[in-house]
Structure 1
Amino acid sequence: MNRARALLITLTVAALAAVVPAASADPGSGPPTITINNPQDGSVLYVDGHGPLDFSCAPGAAPIASCSADHEEIDYSEGEHAITVTAEDTAGVVATKTVHYRVAKHPQTVAFTTDPPEGATWGRFPYFAEATASSGLKATISVDPASTGCAGEAAEADPFVAISFPHPGTCIIHADQAGTDTVAPAPRVTQTFEVGKLKSYVSTTKASKGLLGLTPTTFRAEVDADTFFGPGQVVSGYPGATVTFSVGGKKMCSAKSVVVGTDGPFTVTAVATCKATIGLGHALRNSYVASFAGDDLYLPSSATGKLQ
């Protein structure tokens, strides 16, 4: 009896097993997982770079049937790019993943390695400007066309570029590096500074004011100015400077300085002379002022002389 019952139970279980199917994966859930190692999303690559496209697909609820990318390799041409990987499992579930990346030239910077001269004045010896680029390429130094106080031909800093100062004004110097097929142009850097005028000097001599100021008085003043001879600076007479002579604040006369002699191989003497009647109102004055108002090249100067 027990053996019969056991046989019946065995047959019943087998029949149920044949009727109830085994559990299966739901094709609507658990899609494949995609991993892209190279290039990574949002990355910046360089035009001379190299490396394989690296991605993989992992199964979700069903095994992977296919895993492929829309590009066979990484595009290293300059610009914006995208790569999409598609995975499909045996249940027909499809997953995609896209990465975006940018390919660029290597960046570089350029910098001056010399400082502008302090208190620069026109006529002085050149400023030897130097600059280097972080890429190791040679930097180019140039004078901006808007500069009024300096001049120089654009050239590679190898190791420097000579900047001259032919006139007072503003000096604007640029350093650049144009780049190559693989290196981007460097952002321009600029040095801006002022080139000043040179000093002038007025010296006077005694002047006779005449009888009661009614006879002409001869005024005389020497005009000198800084100048350069080679790398050195000298003071020499400055011809062509207009000197105004005044007594008690009233202009008496004016004259331009002229060369009246030499003071050696490198300097001259320049004197301005004029005559005027100072009048009774200034007959009691015992001094006069000789002044040079300055010009495009030289700063103004003045001196007080004696009236006797």
Structure 2
Amino acid sequence: MLRATLRHRRERRAAPSRGVRALRVGVLFLALMTISAPSYAFWTQAAVAAASGTGSGSTSTLSAPTAVNASVPNGGTSVSLTWSAPTTGVSPGGYRVIRTDTATSSAVAACGTSATSPVTTTSCVDGAVPDGTYRYTVVALRSGWTATSADSNSVTVLQIIATTTALTTSASPSLVGQPVTFTATVAAASGAPSGLVAFRSGGSAISCSGGSQTLSSGVATCVTTFGSTGTRSITAVYAGSAPFAASTSSALSQVVNQQTQTITFTSSAPTSETVGGPTYAVAASATSSLPVTFTSGTSAVCSVNGSTVTFVGSGTCTVLADQAGNAAYAPATQATQSFTVAKASQAITITSAAPTNATRGGTYTVAATATSGLAVTFSSATSSVCTVSGSTVTFVGAGTCTIQADQPGNGTYAAAAQKLQSFQVVKAAQSITITSTAPTSAAAGGAIYTVTASSTSGLPVSISSGTTSVCTVSGSTVTFVGGGTCVVLADQPGDAAYAPAAQKSQSFAVTVTPTTPTMLVVVPIPGGVTATWVPVAGLTYECQVTNGASPPGATSWTACSSGVTVTGTKNGTSTFYVRSVRGGVASTPASASFSGI
């Protein structure tokens, strides 16, 4: 900085003196303009009225920033910049940042700076930078003066980093069922790719039983086996992981060959088999570990179901063992096992369960088998209780039914011992259904009700009353004689073929309408009177006594029943009144006069 200070004198100077002063200032200005490095000058004057004076001046340099450094993360688009402020000279008022494309030498403002909008710190971030390689320079600014730094290091902005994937196999050709390891190596121009690799066979994902499909130092592996022969096209597909782009390996041809196999019987041939005797469990294994199937080479002597050998005739039994192979293994050569089966006895088993509720008129299908497989015939040993036709048993009477099962044998089997099956036959059960609907408004003395019922045996049902004070029954006619619940009973006693049926009942309510009591009889007694009448079930009664022939009082009624004795009557003529009551409704009273004694 140049400072010049003029001390002005109080007295005025002549015009020539002012010309000399102007000449001196001009010389100082020319001297400042000839300084080689960017400089900054500042001039002050204490007063402009003085005509003469003396002064002094100095200069200082605006230095450029140093150590400009640029960095960008892989795949990033924002470049971080730092630099060091000048350590000599005046301090910059700010900085302008310039980005230069190394390929085209095109330069643009960076970090949003300009000559009029500098940054005042020694770092900034240049955002949204397009792909390319760049250098940065930082320009120090102060009052129109500039000082430009040296270029920064080169930085490359690459949002997506290309990768390549290579694929190898541990064995080709391999055998069916043999573990094979595929190794995928993913490489990039810079950095180490991470993420997942998918292994595919002909475009379909391979199920890896081992290895790691996650990249580690750029390598992923897949251990798998193939269950069939053929040539497969294997690829490794890297899915990509920012900033690394996805890539797929070239197809690798994996050849898988078929294996051979042999069969070995692991069970020992029996030495004392007979027709119909215990079965033999044959066993064999193949070197492929695939299941072995068995058949009989002599079906007249033995049959095979799964691994069970059954002896059906005498002679030599030959068991055949085969393994048809699959995509991995060729068919095995057939293996055989032969042994002798001798003629044997046979036995009968009745396979149907004896009925536990056999009744006369019913049937039962009997079933039995012989170990020979020959047909079993049936007959009845108790024809008065049951008969047999083919395998159908018909129950014709009560008692013990005995069925005989026989098999006479043939050239291979001797006659079987007869088998018997016995069980009890009882009378048939029956049940009753009351088929008429109970009345809903039955009333004592009202309309009769005709009850109907049927039995499963078809035998007639008899009807009776279980509540004769409420209802009576004659044949199928129900008459209502009192109030309450009427219970109608239905019975069927059975016969020689059917057991008695369980009794059925039907219950319903019978109401009573209050009626004038009948057959009222009053008998005077000393100081009172005794009265009787015919009571009706379901009704209650109220009584009172009046003097002479006076009518009954509305509030003088007292509960009573037939045979009541009323005391405290007066000499002379009195009248006894009685009425029936139900549900708050009273009948017309009955009355009788008497003379007190």
Which is higher, the Rg of structure 1 or of structure 2?
A: 2
Higher relative contact order (CA 8 A, sep 6+): 1
TM-score interval, normalised by the smaller of the two chains: 0.3 to 0.5
User: Which has more helix, going by share of residues?
Assistant: 1
- After TM superposition, the score normalised by the length of structure 1 is 0.46
